[in-house]
Amino acid sequence: MNTRDQILTAIRAARERRTPVEHPGRFGGWRPVEPPPPLEGFEAMFTQAGGEVVHVSGTVERDDWLRTFLAEFQHLSMGAGVPPGIADLGPTRINPGDEHAADVGVSMARGAIAETGSLMMDARDGRRAQLLPPVLVVLVDRSTVHATVADAFESARGDLSAAIGLHSGPSKSADIGQVMVKGVHGPGRVIAVLA
Amino acid sequence: MTGSSPEYRPGAYREAAAHSLRETPMVRDSVGSATRTFDSLRAHAYADVESDRWRDWARDVKGHALTHLDQYLEQAERSLVRNGVHVHWAATAEDVHRVIAKVVETHGVRTVVKSKSMLSEELDVNAHLESLGVRPVETDLGEYIIQLLDEPPSHIVGPAIHRSLDDCRVLFHERLGTPLDSEPDELAAAARAALREDFLSADLGISGGNFLAADTGTVALIENEGNIRLTTSVPRVHVALVGIEKVVPRFEDLAGLLQLTARAATGQPIGLFVSLIQGPRTGDEVDGPEEVHVVLVDNGRTTLFEDDVAWEALRCVRCGACLNICPVYRQTGGHAYGWTYSGPIGAIISPGLLGLDRALPLPHASSLCGACTDVCPVRIPIPELLIHWRERTVDEGRNSTAERLGMKAYAGLAERPGAFSAAASALRWTPWRAAGRALPVLSGWVQERDAPSPSPRSFRDLWREGIE
Amino acid sequence: MRVALFVTCLGDQFFAEACADAVRLLRHVGAEVSFPTDQTCCGQPAFNSGHRREALRMMRHTTQVFADAEYVVLPSGSCAGMVRSMYSGLSDTDEARAAAEDLAARTYELSEFLVSVADCEELGDGLTGHRVAYHHGCHALRELGVSDQPVTLLRSCGAEVIEWSADRECCGFGGTFSAKLPEVSAAMADHKLDTLPDVDVVTSADGGCLLQLSGRAGRRELPVPFRHLASLLWQGVAGAEAPRGSA
**Which chain B residues contact residue A182 at CB under 8 A?**
185
- Beta strands per DSSP E along chain A: 52-55, 75-78, 92-93, 104-113, 118-122, 135-140, 145-146, 163-167, 172-173, 181-182, 189-194
Does the beta-carbon distance from A165 to B269 stay under 8 Å? no
B-proximal residues of A, 2-41, CB under 8 Å: 2-4, 6-8, 10-15, 17-24, 26-32
**Digit-coded pLDDT (tens) for B387-435:** 999 999 999 999 999 899 999 999 999 999 999 999 988 877 788 777 7
Which residue among A3, A18, A118 sits closest to B270, beta carbon to beta carbon?
A: A118
Kindly indicate the confidence band of residue A89, based on its pLDDT and cuts at 50, 70 and 90.
confident
ipTM (interface pTM) = 0.98
Which of A8, A11, A163 lies at the smallest CB-CB distance from B277?
Answer: A163
| CA–CA dist B468, C7 (Å, integer) | 17
Q: Which residues of C touch B328 (CB under 8 A)?
A: 170, 181, 184, 188
**What is the per-residue pLDDT for C121?**
81
- Sheet containing C160-161: which strands, arranged edge to edge? C160-161, C131-135, C201-204, C226-228
In a domain, C243, yes or no: no
The full set of domain ranges for chain A reads: 36-194
Average pLDDT, chain B: 96
The model's pLDDT over C86-128, given as tens digits with 9 standing for 90+, comes to 999 999 999 999 999 999 999 999 999 999 999 998 899 999 9
- What is residue B3's predicted lDDT score, i.e. its pLDDT? 46
pLDDT digits (tens, 9 = 90+) for C127-156: 999 999 999 999 999 999 999 999 999 999
Q: Clarify whether residues C82 and C8 are in a common domain.
A: yes
Q: Cβ of A175 and B244 within 8 Å? A: no
Residue C36 lies in a domain: yes
Within-domain flag for C123: no
Picking from A15, A117, A168, the nearest residue to B69 by CB comes out as: A15
B373 pLDDT higher than 50: yes
Beta pairing partners, A181: A173
> C140 and C181 share a domain?
yes
**Predicted TM-score of the model (pTM):** 0.96
Are C29 and C103 found together in one domain?
A: yes
Minimal Cα distance from B197: which residue of A?
A100
* Single residue among C85, C117, C149 that ends a domain in this structure: C117
Nearest alpha carbon to residue C74 among C100, C50, C47, C39: C39
Residues of A (157-186) whose Cβ lies below 8 Å from B: 157, 160-179, 181-186
Whether residue B151 lies within 8 A of chain A, CB to CB, comes out as no
Closest partner residue to A127 (CB to CB) among B233, B274, B306 is B233
**Side chain identity at residue B258, one-letter code:** L
Please, which pLDDT band fits residue B5 given cuts at 50, 70 and 90? confident
First to last CA, chain B: 54
Answer yes or no: do C57 and B411 touch at CB < 8 A: yes
Residues of B with Cβ-Cβ distance to C185 under 8 angstroms: 367, 448
CATH architecture of A36-194: 3-Layer(aba) Sandwich (3.40)
b or e along A146-166 (b: 16 or more beta carbons within 10 Å of the residue's beta carbon)? bbbbbbbbbebeeebbbbbbb
Final residue of a structural domain among C117, C149, C179 = C117
Cβ–Cβ gap B141/A8 under 8 Å: no
* C144 and C226 both lie in a single domain: yes
C with A: touching (≥3 Cβ pairs within 8 Å): no
Tell whether the torsion through CA atoms of C10, C13, C18 and C19 is positive or negative: positive
The pLDDT of residue C240 is: 60
pLDDT in tens, B318-368: 999 999 999 999 999 999 999 999 999 999 999 999 999 999 999 999 999
* Helix (H/G/I), strand (E/B), else coil: A92: strand
How many structural domains does chain C have? 2
Answer yes or no: do B232 and A15 touch at CB < 8 A: no
Is the C-alpha dihedral spanning B428, B431, B436, B437 positive or negative?
A: negative
Instruction: Kindly indicate the confidence band of residue B4, based on its pLDDT and cuts at 50, 70 and 90.
Output: low
Which residues 6+ apart lie within 8 Å of C121 measured at CB? C115, C152, C156
* B 188-227 residues inside an 8 A Cβ radius of A: 188-189, 191-192, 195-196, 199-200, 216, 218, 224-227
Question: Chain A window 83-112: which residues touch B at a Cβ cutoff of 8 Å?
Answer: 96-97, 100
The Cα B306–Cα B349 span in angstroms is 13
Give A75's strand partners.
Answer: A92
User: Is C247 inside a domain boundary?
Assistant: no
CB–CB contact C46 B14 (8 Å): no
Query: Which residues does chain B have within 8 Å of residue C234's beta carbon, measured at their own beta carbons?
Result: none
CB contacts, 8 Å: C218 with chain B? 449-450
Q: Would you call C34 an interface residue with chain B, using a CB distance cutoff of 8 Å?
A: no
Query: For residue A112, which of A146, A135, A136, A83 has the smallest C-alpha distance?
Result: A146
Q: Do B226 and A176 touch (CB under 8 A)?
A: no
Cis peptide before B327 (omega within 30 of 0): no
- C26 within some domain: yes
Task: Give me the pLDDT at residue B1, please.
Answer: 34
Determine the residue of chain A that is closest to B291 in CA distance.
A162
Residues C90 and C170 in one domain: no
**What is the model's pLDDT at position B191?**
97
Q: Identify the domain containing residue C183 by its residue range.
A: 131-238
In this complex, do C216 and B427 lie within 8 Å of one another by their Cβ atoms? no
Distance CA B198, CA A168 (A): 25
CB-neighbour burial class of residue A32 (10 A; exposed 0-12, middle 13-18, buried 19+): exposed
Residues C9 and C105 in one domain: yes
Dist. CA B96–CA B116, nearest whole Å: 17
**What is the Cα Rg of chain B in Å?**
25
Domains along chain B with CATH numbers: 1-48+317-399 (no CATH), 60-166+199-299 (3.40.50.10420), 401-465 (no CATH)
Q: State pLDDT tens for residues B108-124.
A: 999 999 999 999 999 99
User: Cα separation of C115 and C103, whole Å?
Assistant: 20
- Alpha-carbon span B10 to B354, nearest angstrom: 10
CB distance B226–A186 less than 8 Å?
yes
The pLDDT tens digits of the residues spanning B6-45 come to 889 999 999 999 999 999 999 999 999 999 999 999 999 9
Q: Which of C117, C150, C167 is the last residue of a domain?
A: C117
Spatial neighbors of B133 by CB under 8 A, at least 6 apart, are none
pLDDT of residue C244: 46
Tell me the CATH number at C30.
3.40.50
